[in-house]
Amino acid sequence: MRAFHGQMSDNQPIRRTLAEKQKQLRDLRETLASMKSHTSPALRESVQKRIRQLESEVTAAPALKAGDRRNTQAAPGGTDRPRSPRRRPERSI
């Protein structure tokens, strides 16, 4: 079966809100702190890398949020709900 546009199997990155990113950052910090001394260096480095990425995203989030407010005010009458994906109608037999 083929996937329609916008389906989760389209190999697209998962979009997270600021609160979700902050929660993931807390969880990763706890994970890093609870790692044993014999944990592989590659795994430890990958967790540290993700923590650095999330920290930069969280610190940049207030600037992005202010930019979103300006864009929504510039476009009156816009809807807040996401658009549903378009699908082709199925052919009858």
Contact 12, 85 (CB under 8 A): no
> How close are the terminal C-alpha atoms of the chain, in Å?
17
pLDDT digits (tens, 9 = 90+) for 33-45: 999 999 999 999 9
Which structure tokens are listed for 66? 């202010």
pLDDT digits (tens, 9 = 90+) for 66-90: 666 555 555 555 566 777 767 766 7
pLDDT for res 61: 76
pLDDT for res 64: 65
